[in-house]
Amino acid sequence: MMLKIILGLIVVLVIVYICCGFRIVPQNNEGLIETLGKYSKTVKAGFIFVWPLFQRIRKVPLALQPLEISKYSIITKDNAEITTSLTLNYLVTDSYRYFYNNTDSVESMVQLIRGHLRDIIGRMDLNSALGSTKEINDQLFTATGDLTDIYGIKVVRVNVDELLPSPEIQRAMDKQLTADREKTAAIAKAEGEARTIEMTTKAKNDALVATAKANAEAVKTQADADAYRVQKMEEALSHAGEGYFRNQSLDSFNQLAQGPNNLVVVDKDDMTNLGKIPAVKKVWDESGK
């Protein structure tokens, strides 16, 4: 009876022992089997069996994982201090290397990326670094792509999220930016005033030229009119007879006789010419009308 009980206990213990050896490796994971502390084999996702107490399984995730690298300081080529932070995505490509070749493969990868980022930015001056985020990302991805393979890791994407100058440099940059804006505004104002003066001067010159042209045209028109009147007067006098001038002479003497100064001494041959004076005036007045 006692023997049966002992055998029954042994069977139960064996069943419990075997049941404790069944394991499940989730999807997107690999299992590393260790026998008595030594790597034995790699198993894929699924239902597996290990010998309890003699074997153990270590699960390694293979899915893409994000990682944020906190802010840290970097010195640029011109000795300016900037603070940077970046994010990346990586996945495990070799679970054996990932787990056994390094005590902390992720931390080693982070240190490697930080070192390359310091080297890249350290060869740039401040202005170049602040304006070349895309170029920095490309260089960093190229530099770390193959080196992380020794850790069984592949970096899929790396991105520098921010590059911030130190507060002292930021204040100096703000002052410089303000000075540049004020300088630009002053130049624009001066150019505007110069343009206004130029346009005003041009307008005044154009007005003076227009006035001078108008005056010249008026003088020319007046001269043409006077020349025309003289021509008409000469034509009218050339057709006037001697009798007309004699009558004009008598009228002239009559007018002189009626005035306070009525003494005129002329040669008898010039008396007829005296009559031409009012005749000329009359013709001139009529041509002016």
Q: Across-strand partners of 59? A: 31
84 vs 259, residue with greater confidence:
84
pLDDT above 60: residue 178: yes
Q: Give how far Cα 216 sits from Cα of 79, 205, 226, Å.
A: 74, 16, 15
> Environment class of residue 67 by beta-carbon count within 10 Å: exposed (0-12), middle (13-18) or buried (19+)?
middle
Instruction: Assess whether pLDDT exceeds 60 at residue 128.
Output: yes
Average pLDDT of the chain to the nearest whole number: 78
| Residue 227 clears pLDDT 50, i.e. is over it | yes
Distance CA 73, CA 166 (A): 9
- Predicted confidence at residue 280, as pLDDT, reads 45
Strand, coil or helix: 194: helix
**What is the maximum span of the chain, computed from C-alpha positions, in angstroms?**
196
Query: pLDDT digits over 80-105, tens only?
Result: 888 888 898 999 988 898 888 888 88
- Distance between CA 107 and CA 1 in Å, rounded? 61
How far apart are alpha carbons 91 and 157 in whole angstroms? 10
**What span, in angstroms and rounded, lies between the C-alpha atoms of 21 and 55?**
9
Percent of the chain with pLDDT over 90: 1
27: amino acid identity, one letter: Q
DSSP H helix total and E strand total for the chain = 9, 8
Note the pLDDT tens digit of each residue in 16-43.
888 888 888 888 899 989 888 888 888 9
Q: What pLDDT does residue 283 have?
A: 46
State pTM to two decimals.
0.54
Q: What six digits make up the tokens of 232?
A: 């008409």
Q: Give me the pLDDT at residue 284, please.
A: 46
Closest CA to 113 of 88, 76, 80, 81: 88
At residue 248, does pLDDT exceed 70? no
- pLDDT of amino acid 245: 54
Tell me if 246 sits within 8 A of 272, measured CB to CB.
Answer: yes
In the block, residue with structure tokens 């002479």: 249
Is residue 190's pLDDT more than 70?
A: yes
Does pLDDT of 79 surpass 60? yes
Instruction: Give the mean model confidence (pLDDT) for residues 175-197.
Output: 77
Q: CA-CA distance, 73 to 66, in Å (whole number)?
A: 22
Mean pLDDT for 59-65 is: 89
Q: Residue 29 pairs with which residues in a beta bridge?
A: 61
| SS3 label, residue 21 | coil
State the CB neighbour count (10 A cutoff) for residue 13: 10
Q: For residues 31 and 77, give the distance between their C-alpha atoms in angstroms, rounded to a whole number.
A: 47
Q: Crossing angle, helix 133-145 and helix 105-122, to 10 degrees?
A: 130
CA dist list (Å): 278 to 124, 248, 274, 284 = 104, 7, 8, 10
Six-digit token string for 87:
């994010």
Q: Tokens representing 100?
A: 């056994």
CATH of domain 65-165: 3.30.479.30
Q: How confident is the model at residue 251 (pLDDT cuts 50, 70, 90)?
A: low
Q: What confidence category does residue 258 fall into, taking pLDDT thresholds of 50, 70 and 90? A: low
| Percent of the chain predicted with pLDDT > 70 | 75
Q: How far apart are the first and last CA of the chain?
A: 165
